[in-house]
Amino acid sequence: MQARYDGPPLPDDITGQELDRGVTNQLKSLPEKLAVRVARHLVAAARLMDSDPETAYQHTVAAHARASRVAVVREASGEAAYAAGRFKDALAEFKAARRLSGDPSYLPMMADCERALKRPERALGLARDPAVTHLDEAGQIEMRIVESGARRDLGDFAAAVRALEGRELRSRSRAGWVPRLRYAYADALLADGQRDAAREWFERAAGVDADGHTDATERLAELDGLVFVDTGDDDSRGREGGQQR
């Protein structure tokens, strides 16, 4: 228990001042020395989230042990648990963060955790939560992507396609949700047996995915029967939209 409380070693170059103002403002409710320790663990977790999610999670466990009533700490714990594949823990943390903050932005990740826990019906229940209407555009798109995946989990492939249809598919926005939405739509079309349409939308996803949010290029190569050589450069994750969350 003491080891979990202490957390992994903290690099000397991390001061805690690397956090943005919104996070540090939340930590002001803590005594100064405690706030610094929590902040350092949060910075360390953020650094390791992609390369070593399990150690990142252990940093958030240490932060959580010291500041369990701070919403941003519970959010960080949820994100790290999610990245580490600890979906039950992630769901509990996101629920706590929402309870503490009243922020509905956790709903898509909560729903995705329910999918990962093989409970697609609960994911669909969260997709129908009235608070979804208060999400920003990116959040609403994420929820639709998760909803589509849940409907695929239940074998309703046509409904999975319908969940993603709309004007947003042809958006000219450069936001990261655009390639993810197009990719998820292509994936849903493919699951529904619409191979030609799926290929078109994988191509459309690849065409706007300059930052590598998806593996649309690889999926195109698979559909075309080409051999794709993995260079190790792709860093995409997520349950839908080319990510494995």
What DSSP assignment string belongs to 30-84?
S-HHHHHHHHHHHHHHHHHTTT-HHHHHHHHHHHHHH-TT-HHHHHHHHHHHHHT
Q: What whole-number distance in Å separates Cα of residue 216 and Cα of residue 183? A: 7
* Structure confidence at residue 235 (pLDDT): 39
Domains, the chain, with CATH or none: 1-102 (1.25.40), 108-245 (1.25.40.10)
* Structure confidence at residue 5 (pLDDT): 73
Q: What whole-number distance in Å separates Cα of residue 44 and Cα of residue 30? A: 19
Neighbours of 122 (CB within 10 A): 17
For the entire predicted model, the pTM comes to 0.86
Which token pair is 168?
């947003």
210 Cβ contact list (under 8 Å, min separation 6): none
* Structure confidence at residue 244 (pLDDT): 37
pLDDT < 50 regions, the chain: 227-229, 231-238, 241-245
* Alpha-carbon separation of residue 179 from 79, 172, 217, 222, 240 (angstroms): 22, 11, 11, 18, 11
Nearest-Å Rg of the Cα atoms of the chain is 19
- pLDDT (tens digit, 9 = 90+) per residue, 28-79? 999 999 999 999 999 999 999 999 999 999 999 999 999 999 999 999 999 9
> Which residue, among 15, 24, 105, has the nearest Cα to 70 in the 3D structure?
24
